[in-house]
Amino acid sequence: MAIVSSLAGLCLAAIISAFVFRYSSSYSVSGVRIPLGSKLPRGPKGVPILGNLPQVPLTHSWLKFKEWAGQYGPLYSLSLAGNRHVVVSTERIANDLLRGRGNIYSSRPYLPMSSGLLSHNLRPVLLPYNDLWRKGRKLMHSLASESVAPAYEPVQLRESFRLLKDLLADPNNYETWFERLSAGVVLQLAYGKTVETGDEPIVRDILEVVHTLERVISPGAYLVDTFPALMWLPKWLAPFKREGDRLHKRELNLFRKNIEDVRAEIANGDQTPSFCRSWLEKEPSFGLNTDEAAYVIGTMFEAGAGTTAAALMSFMLAMVHHPEWQRRLQQEIDAVVGNSRLPNFDDIPRLPTVRAIVKETLRWRPVTAGGVPHQLIKDDVYEGVFLPAGTSIHPNQWAIHRDPSLYPDPENFRPERWLEPSWPTYREPLTQFPNLQNFSAFGFGRRICPGQAIAERSLNIAAARVGWGCTVSKMKGVEVPLYDYTAGLNVQPKRFLFELEARGDHIMRLLRENV
């Protein structure tokens, strides 16, 4: 009897627990079913309908995001007009999610104006995690990975030579010279075209496309990106739709023309290597039609053109504020290179201070300071925190690069963190480290910047040659702000004044002779 009643008791308990499990393995908060044992991330309280939208500054939002991380922790959420956003503020969490769980964290949020109307779902940087993105990524990898990047070094040598020459001749125009290096390298790589003045039609047209994208994608530029329901408006009531059509036609025609020009040049026997040429030669193996490939190559140009220049301008800012590091950089270059030739790529393994200064510049003043958002495509639980599918994940580089446990004394420019064993980021051997491979300044996981090997080479050689050839310093009586940066996704210091002089007559002579 006792046995029968205890069996009955067990059955009842099993039925009750199955029932409880069935109906309470999740609970619901504002329409979201949350698995039992987990909770939604915390975050600042917003207002009805708009949520936290009115609290997010239109420019330099990463500063506010970092401040909130101090209050709500390294993984907190924001609601922006009904859309869920999660801000990540440590490298560990960013890697755990965006790299470790890359199969579900590698999409992009859909922006009706930029992804849809402007790009017609063709621009790889804005594509969701789909088949077209995968094919485009395969092409990008074949064009720009670590194994092929050394082939582009001659272009980087030529452009960094011209940079140094023009910088010495006309330092006031420094922004133009850095932008020409940056655009010159990727234009040559993408389409096999050399930039001479920077005023050629192909350069002007393509830079206009880049600037349009930057404007269109800026947070708050188009109401439809915040309120996608506006897409239901008919065209005659929606000027943004007519504008999107016009802008899309313009960029598609340009990207197509660039590819067709290369096709015609090859037919005429031209041998110049380029991304376009590589794609045309192996076209069937990538499974992309002409428009799709044209956008992949166009995107490589636009993603590479401004970013490298922005980083180099921050490098100049760091050198103006830190003469002690400029001296150390010059001492290293003098010892390795001497004064009878310019630094070359063979020197880079023996120039750890140059590499440390470049890396520290990207940590101290990240180009994509707010990070590029990924989108989660499946419900997930991370360390007890529930993250619903559809959430936009923002790896806030400004905060990630200021996490004091990984980067002690984070506000200050301290290249020694990459050079001395007492710092947590130090790695040996110094012929190899520091380097920029997989550095958080280039993003995370499957979406990590495919151009990082090219960017790394452009930055190292430009920094080495500028340091070898000139000394920059503060202008008497002129205060240079430590942080007065442009607005947008990619940021650079606003124009600042500094003195620049050649490090001796031999520099000018060598530059003249090399011409």
Binding site for ligand HEM (CB under 6 A): 124-125, 137, 140, 144, 186, 299-300, 303-304, 307-308, 311, 367-368, 372, 374, 441-444, 447-451, 454-455
Q: What are phi and psi of 320, to 5 degrees?
A: -65, -40
Closest distance of CB 373 from ligand HEM, Å: 8
Nearer Cβ to ligand HEM, position 51 or 415? Answer: 415
Measured from the CB atom, the residue of 184 and 450 that comes closer to ligand HEM is 450
Residue 352 vs 450, nearer CB to ligand HEM = 450
Least separation in angstroms between CB 366 and ligand HEM: 7
| HSE-up (13 A, CA, CB side) for residue 331 | 7
Q: Work out how close the CB of 301 gets to ligand HEM at its nearest, in angstroms, rounded to a whole number.
A: 7
Q: For residue 60, what are its two tokens? A: 């330099």
Query: In the complex, what is the shortest distance from the CB of residue 428 to ligand HEM, in angstroms, rounded to a whole number?
Result: 25
Q: What angle do CA 123, 205, 177 make, to 5 degrees?
A: 105
Q: How many CB atoms lie within 10 A of CB 59?
A: 14
DSSP letters for 61-95:
HHHHHHHHHHHH-SEEEEEETTEEEEEE-SHHHHI
Contacting residues for 48 by C-beta, under 8 A, at least 6 apart: none
Closer to ligand HEM by Cβ: residue 51 or 219: 219
CA gap 445, 100 in Å, rounded: 8
User: Nearer Cβ to ligand HEM, position 240 or 364?
Assistant: 364
Residue 308 or 353: which CB sits closer to ligand HEM?
308
Peptide bond connecting 429 to the previous residue in cis, omega within 30 degrees of 0: yes
Please, what is the minimum distance in Å from the beta carbon of residue 158 to ligand HEM?
A: 16
Give the residue with the Cβ less far from ligand HEM, 450 or 493: 450
Output the smallest distance, CB 22 to ligand HEM, in A.
39
Question: Computed from CA positions of residues 402, 406, 410, 416, in that sequence, does the dihedral angle turn out positive or negative?
Answer: negative
In the complex with ligand HEM, the residue whose CB is nearer, 52 or 299, is 299
Q: Using the 8-state DSSP alphabet, how is residue 115 labeled?
A: I
Taking alpha carbons only, the member of 103, 102, 99, 125 closest to residue 114 is 125
Helix (H, G, I), strand (E, B) or coil at 116: helix
- For residue 434, whether the previous peptide bond is cis, meaning omega lies within 30 degrees of 0, is yes
CA distance 354 to 52: 42
Give bridge partners of residue 380 from the DSSP assignment. Answer: 387
Instruction: Give the annotated binding-site residues.
Output: 449
> Which lies closer to ligand HEM via its Cβ, residue 76 or residue 133?
133
Rg (CA), the chain: 26
Helix 290-321, helix 174-191: angle, nearest 10? 150
Neighbours of 245 (CB within 10 A): 14
**Closest distance to ligand HEM from the beta carbon of 513 (Å):** 30
> Of 295 and 407, which has the nearer Cβ to ligand HEM?
295
Residue list for the binding site for heme: 449
- Smallest gap from residue 27 Cβ to ligand HEM (A): 33
- 86 forms bridges with which residues in the sheet? 77, 393
Q: Are 180 and 162 in contact (CB under 8 A)?
A: yes
Contacts of 231 (CB under 8 A, 6+ apart): 112, 116, 224
Q: How far is the CB of 121 from ligand HEM (least distance, A)?
A: 13
Given CA atoms 372, 378, 381, 382 in this order, what sign does their dihedral have?
Answer: negative
What values do phi and psi take at 27, rounded to 5?
A: -135, 170
| Residue 29 and residue 39 in contact, taking contact as beta carbons nearer than 8 Å | no
Residue closer to ligand HEM, measured from CB, 443 or 467: 443
Contact 355, 479 (CB under 8 A): no
Minimum Å gap between C-beta 437 and ligand HEM is 13
Residue 109's closest CA among 90, 83, 137? 83
End-to-end CA distance of the chain: 104
CB 438 within 8 A of CB 362: no
Query: Shortest gap between Cβ of 45 and ligand HEM (angstroms)?
Result: 29
Pairing of strands 392-395, 83-88: parallel
